[in-house]
Amino acid sequence: MTKDIINASNAIKIERALISVSDKTGIIDFAKKLASFGIEILSTGGTAKVLQDAGISVKEVSEHTGFPEIMEGRVKTLHPKIHGGLLAKRDKDNHVQAMKDNDINPIDMLVVNLYPFVKTVQNDADFDTCIENIDIGGPAMIRAAAKNHNHVAVITDPQDYEKIIDSMEETDGHIGTNIRKTLALTAFSMTATYDSSISSWLADQAQEAITRRTSFSGTLKQKLRYGENPHQSAALYLTDHSVRPGAARAIQKQGKELSYNNLNDTDAAFELVSEFEKPAIAIIKHANPCGVATAKDPLDAYNRALMCDQTSAFGGIIALNRPLTANLATLITERFVEVIIAPEIKAEALEVLQKKNKIRVLETGAMPD
């Protein structure tokens, strides 16, 4: 986030914040810092209790609005005193007058993350439970605050807490325009991803393979070394509704940063060996198989795959559908390889591979079904 020069034209002073989070990572420390600036904190339900138990002064949203939570919490922040406080333009006389006429206080900061819909689905919850984990009030507030980012700072990711506090400490409790724009971008990206995950799940539930409209979204996992060509940039995003084991979700145990081509070839190799029940090895280069083989054990499968085309296998990608052992790692490292991917990398194998520390080594944790 770019440090702003604080002046009357681009910075806002935070005086009131609304905090309502499902993911409470770091929220106590963040709220304590906000309170140290003299900021009034509004909150709801479980978040309010967590903050109060930590000794932080909190005003319940129901007290702020004068209206109780109803319908098992489905309706609690959907109120003019909340949305008017988020959407009001502080530099428009008619907006300011509307706030006065309706006893609406401005809300300068919104700290919200959403019901854990994706985790609920991944935990194989029943249909009704998944439905109840579709957040309504959260996205409504986030979109309101992000739309009105000229006057409101919206924070949807705990990763941003430290940056926000650092900025406020440098500027006597202000937040500049560039930071607010970046936060708004993060907020709209998050609600788009959230809705995309819900629509994908509902398509599965309704058994609609082809929908009238579709969207694709994901969360940044890592920037790649370069794109399809060295002068291009690339990044890897993970879809939130899928946990399929593979190259994208693998943990890199060692080696240089992956490029787009590395990842593309590694994915092809791993998907290929996942087709076999017997021990299998695939050696891929430039998206083409140099050799593929099955055998009673991975060592034999590797030798068979290598014999298909030893020349092309130089500098290739090697995938196996069994744990990588020290013996096989020793054999593989006799030749130059770019990437090795397996469901498990044995500790002894990793010791062998570390002698060739430029080799990228990926562990998926499982084979795809």
State pLDDT tens for residues 144-165.
999 999 999 999 999 999 999 9
Q: List the structure tokens of 307.
A: 């014999």
Q: List the structure tokens of 95.
A: 């907006």
Examine the residue annotation and report whether 286 is marked as an active-site residue of this protein: yes
Per-residue pLDDT for 99 more than 70? yes
- The Cα–Cα gap between 222 and 224 comes to 6
Which string of DSSP letters, residue by residue, matches 7-42? -TTTEEE--EEEEEESS-TTHHHHHHHHHHTT-EEE
The pairing of beta strand 59-60 with beta strand 40-43: parallel
- In the chain, where does the domain assigned CATH 3.40.140.20 lie? 219-363
Per-residue pLDDT for 249 more than 60? yes
Please report the pLDDT score of residue 8 as a whole number.
42
Please report the pLDDT score of residue 203 as a whole number.
87
Q: Over the chain, what is the mean pLDDT? A: 89
pLDDT confidence bin for 241, thresholds 50/70/90: low
Per-residue pLDDT for 3 more than 50? no
Determine which one of 3, 49, 286, 355 is catalytic.
286
* Lookup result for tokens 């700072």: 153
Per-residue pLDDT for 242 more than 80? no
**Residue 221, CB half-sphere, CA atoms under 13 Å: how many?**
17
pLDDT digits (tens, 9 = 90+) for 49-79: 999 999 999 998 888 888 888 887 788 888 9
Per-residue pLDDT for 4 more than 70? no
Q: How far is CA 84 from CA 3, 37, 96, 105, 122, in A?
A: 29, 24, 10, 8, 36
Is the CATH number 3.40.140.20 carried by domain 219-363? yes
Residues 228, 229, 232: CA angle, nearest 5 degrees: 90
- The Cα–Cα gap between 137 and 107 comes to 16
- In the chain, where does the domain assigned CATH 3.40.50.1380 lie? 11-205
Third-level CATH fold of 11-205: Rossmann fold (3.40.50)
Examine the residue annotation and report whether 147 is marked as an active-site residue of this protein: yes
pLDDT confidence bin for 5, thresholds 50/70/90: very low
Average pLDDT over every residue of 258-284 = 94
Q: Dihedral sign, CA of 333, 339, 340, 345?
A: positive
Q: Which residues of 144-173 are buried (b: 16+ CB within 10 A; e: fewer)?
A: bbbebbebbbbbbebebbeebbebbeebeb
337 close to 359: Cβ distance less than 8 angstroms: yes
Per-residue pLDDT for 191 more than 80? yes
Please report the pLDDT score of residue 45 as a whole number.
83
% of the chain at pLDDT higher than 70: 97
- The Cα–Cα gap between 221 and 208 comes to 29
Determine which one of 147, 163, 256, 346 is catalytic.
147
- CA nearest 90: which of 111, 77, 108, 65? 108
